[in-house]
Chain A
């Protein structure tokens, strides 16, 4: 199968999804009102609530949701063949992710731009807020652990990429200073910074940086040293003002992401490479996990991701100029993320076979077993991108460094953001725990201290994933990735439950939201049970005594969420029957609507 046919086919289906399905959602399910006055206007404060052009909000939303995750998940999931991964990405993006991201924005806009966690406590139950915080805690812990492992692995495999990545840090600080101290527009300094980063790629080839001497002197593995350095870096980054490093670095990385997408797409079209992997892999090696249910948690971002609801209801909904902009912003961003996942599938099934180190090998020799698929997934994507870049005349060694820099930059930005988010989550959980604990007791004092101390809560946000990153022993991302997938899908389930209850209360048919909700809950719970069996059956004490209890805790959250969602939906349907509300905007409860000035 030609890679270009798959790419164009997926893009065509995405276009149809936007043209028809998003319109159906906008009119029949979410009933967007062009005259509705959004919170960006009614609560305008110049800080959080700022009416913004829809193209700018789209750029913000897409950049915030697209990261390393839609690259890594598909890079592992093509183990079962490119067909199932592609089907899940395309169908999940059109029918689940689109409805989820779009719906999260709309519900938040209709509730004064409040976050999905805050809405869960109102729309579902007061307990749902604690449930939400716990799910986010696990989700972000997994994100931090797995991305740190991925970065460490890439640095070890490609020491030439270390210099260009390191150079990004002082360059970003320089851009921040120029933009905010000298009041210069960001475009020129950030493009210059990007050029310098790429100029450092050949330099990185000449001066590869490794931590082997340090690791040797300390008697530890190089991955351990990298993990220490990465988490130390994220600690300081999350404590710095955002304008100083995070914002300019993120902006430089955005240019890299666009460039990488362009290289892949043009490389696919120019190279006319063939997908060498089987569409459906029938001859799975012995001991391989079943495609059901693991495919649906291996690819979370790229098909449907609960993390997006945090962005949708956190910042996007507060900037929306018109309610009708939600369709463009939410749905098209989902399609963009799906496109990134499709590119990852193509890189790992077509581009990877053009890579010189893999010439003469069969694709199944690379994805020889499940462990091989889960070890270094980002490295496989890197090889694939280097293969596509080769179609454009880029030397392979430079293509490898280019792709590594892109993936590391993505993952590092996600880490920076996630550590900051984890700190907020820890402080919020501590506030609730301190309120519930008896005044003056030791428990109250500890949680009250955590609430107050930004440094200690940040330290916890760094140390917990650091410990988890060490657990698998071989620094393989695969096991942690699946636990990350389950928590991500649980977050999506909770957001979909909030959307479904809201849609039901407004007298409209929630079936298109309920289907992905039930699907995710079933697949996630099933996957958690399968994983638990694997952990308990393992000889590795870390899997039995660390990952198994973690799995049980996440499973408990899944059951809790299912019960809460079922109760809330039953009440919503009962309330609708009692009032006789039926498919009209007038059926909206009074508290859902913003006052119109």
Chain B
């Protein structure tokens, strides 16, 4: 083996190396999907439950509860906005925010 894979794409050995690496990545990717297929949904649910709990703690005031550390956690609020709609729907609230409107 006289070359690394960088800059060796034009030589036959380099092309063979690239093909080998690409084939390996495909195998690895397939196995990763198999690895995730059986328990991936359960893992994602657990992650979502943790995320929901964190969101509820950070947004206590929106639930009518005083949050004594609201000032300290204010910076985190923007990170919590992305999935706000699906979160309040999971909480059982169809609308969120101003009366008659939604987030």
Contact (Cβ within 8 A) A64 B38? yes
Contact with B along A232-267 (1 / 0, CB 8 A): 000000000111001100110010000000000000
Q: Which of B27, B34, B40, B43 contacts A59 (CB 8 A)?
A: B34
Contact (Cβ within 8 A) B32 A186? yes
Which chain B positions have C-beta within 8 A of A60?
34, 37-38
Q: Does B39 contact A (CB under 8 A)?
A: yes
Given contact pairs A47-B45, A241-B43, A242-B43, A319 touches B32 in the complex (Cβ within 8 A): no
Contact (Cβ within 8 A) A242 B28? no
Q: Does B48 contact A (CB under 8 A)?
A: yes
Bound-state CA distance A247–B36 (Å) is 8
Contact (Cβ within 8 A) B37 A56? yes
Q: Does A52 contact B (CB under 8 A)?
A: yes
Bound-state CA distance A242–B33 (Å) is 16
For the complex, would chain B's binding face be called helix, strand, loop or mixed by DSSP majority?
Answer: helix
How far apart are A544's CB and chain B's nearest CB, in angstroms? 41
Which chain A positions have C-beta within 8 A of B42?
242
Contact with B along A52-83 (1 / 0, CB 8 A): 11011101100110000000000000000000
Q: Which of B29, B33, B43, B48 contacts A247 (CB 8 A)?
A: B43
Q: Does A583 contact B (CB under 8 A)?
A: no
Which chain B positions have C-beta within 8 A of A57?
37
Which chain B positions have C-beta within 8 A of A45?
86
Q: Does A187 contact B (CB under 8 A)?
A: yes
Q: Which of B27, B46, B86 contacts A241 (CB 8 A)?
A: B46
Q: Does A46 contact B (CB under 8 A)?
A: yes
Q: Does A48 contact B (CB under 8 A)?
A: yes
Q: Does B15 contact A (CB under 8 A)?
A: no
For the side of the interface on B, what is the size category?
20 to 34
Given contact pairs A47-B44, A47-B48, A48-B45, A242 touches B32 in the complex (Cβ within 8 A): no
Contact (Cβ within 8 A) A243 B43? yes
Given contact pairs A46-B44, A243-B43, A186 touches B31 in the complex (Cβ within 8 A): yes
Q: Does B41 contact A (CB under 8 A)?
A: yes
How far apart are B25's CB and chain A's nearest CB, in angstroms? 9
Contact (Cβ within 8 A) B46 A185? no
Bound-state CA distance A63–B31 (Å) is 13
Bound-state CA distance A468–B42 (Å) is 29
Bound-state CA distance A144–B89 (Å) is 36
Residue of chain A at shortest CB distance from B39: A247
Contact (Cβ within 8 A) A247 B41? no
Q: Which of B27, B29, B38, B41 contacts A250 (CB 8 A)?
A: B38
Contact with B along A314-347 (1 / 0, CB 8 A): 0100110000000000000000000000000000
Q: Does A190 contact B (CB under 8 A)?
A: yes
Contact (Cβ within 8 A) B37 A52? yes
Bound-state CA distance A250–B36 (Å) is 11
Which chain A positions have C-beta within 8 A of B46?
241-243
Bound-state CA distance A186–B46 (Å) is 20
Q: Which of B30, B35, B40, B48 has the most chain A CB atoms closer than 10 A to its own CB?
A: B35
How far apart are A559's CB and chain B's nearest CB, in angstroms? 35
Bound-state CA distance A57–B45 (Å) is 19
Instruction: Scan residues 20-70 of chain B and give those whose CB is less than 8 A from a CB of chain A.
Output: 27-35, 37-46, 48
Q: Which of B27, B39, B43 contacts A187 (CB 8 A)?
A: B27
Provide 27 A-B residue pairs closer than 8 Å at the C-beta atoms, listed in order of the A residue.
A47-B41, A47-B45, A48-B44, A48-B45, A56-B30, A56-B34, A56-B37, A57-B37, A63-B34, A63-B37, A185-B28, A185-B31, A186-B31, A186-B32, A188-B28, A241-B46, A242-B39, A242-B42, A242-B43, A243-B39, A243-B46, A246-B39, A247-B35, A247-B39, A247-B43, A315-B41, A319-B37
Q: A45-B86, A187-B28, A241-B46 are in contact. List 19 more A-B contacts (CB 8 A).
A: A46-B44, A47-B44, A48-B41, A48-B44, A48-B45, A52-B37, A56-B30, A63-B34, A63-B38, A185-B29, A185-B31, A185-B32, A186-B31, A187-B35, A250-B38, A250-B39, A254-B34, A315-B38, A319-B37
**Chain A interface (Cβ within 8 Å of chain B)?**
45-48, 50, 52-53, 55-57, 59-60, 63-64, 179, 185-188, 190, 241-243, 246-247, 250-251, 254, 315, 318-319
